[in-house]
Amino acid sequence: MLLFKEEEHKKFIEYFNIKKEPWDYEKALLKKVKLYIPFLVLFPWILFVGIGNSLSMNTCHKDSDIDLFIITKQKRLWLVRFFVTLYFFLLWQRKTEKKHAWKFCLSFFIAEESMNFKKISLEKDIYLFFRILYMKPLIDINDSYKKFILENKKWCNFDAFEEIIENNKNYILVKKDKKGKDWIFWNLIEKIIKRIWLPKTLRSSQRLWNPFWLIIDENMLKFHNDDKRKIIKDDLLA
């Protein structure tokens, strides 16, 4: 069981200069989040949308973007990625190689059966531990935030940080239950989109020499191109 105590938490806060309250730029980003994110609930295959990384921890700088973490229904990963990417592209809000600041970064999608992050963790992965803890839920369908936390409690001991988890719930913009099954038609569309988009995605990963932080499989699409967890772990736990 991965466990960090208040001592390590204080080191983590100091290392990233985590603030108790967002500064003006972060407040502006959060206003933008409230403007664009609620519309994603119109896509019936989305179960959860959260903010990760710098904005979730109040560590943004003037060039920071908005990192989104999205959980989809099973076998709807590529469908969701396509429509969410299209949504932000048409609104000129998708992060690109040349434009980072003020844009939405769409780099982390998982299907609901992959909520448990143990399989992508490093030994004593302090950054992943606190990244999960600081994740801010925005759209919460069928109690997916609770399920996400419970899945990761199977290998992370969050007992000392329950207050953070409770405070995170204040960020929820849309919370509801959804029932019903998808049309079989969408199974075909999922396969078509995957067949078209997967080769391009794999080519991009090969250009990056397939680093360990880039994951492309049936239940997870993780495109962070600079994962510093090993360095952070060494710096904080040496």
Strand partners, 141: 176
pLDDT at 138 over 80: yes
Cβ atoms of residues 126 and 135 within 8 Å: no
pLDDT tens string 156-183: 999 999 999 999 999 999 999 988 777 8
Nearest to 178 by CA among 216, 142, 131: 142
Domain count, the chain: 1
Is the pTM here over 0.85, yes or no?
yes
**Chain centre to alpha carbon of residue 21:** 21
Q: What CATH number does the domain containing 50 carry?
A: 3.30.460.10
Cβ atoms of residues 1 and 129 within 8 Å: no
pLDDT at 1 over 60: yes
Range of the domain at 214: 2-237
228 CB contacts (<8 Å, ≥6 apart)?
127
pLDDT tens string 22-79: 999 999 999 999 999 999 999 999 999 999 999 999 999 989 999 999 999 999 999 9
Residue 138: in which H helix or E strand, if any? strand 136-141
pLDDT tens string 93-111: 999 888 889 999 998 999 9
Inter-CA distances, 133 with 11, 19, 160, Å: 15, 15, 11
Residue 89: in which H helix or E strand, if any? helix 77-90
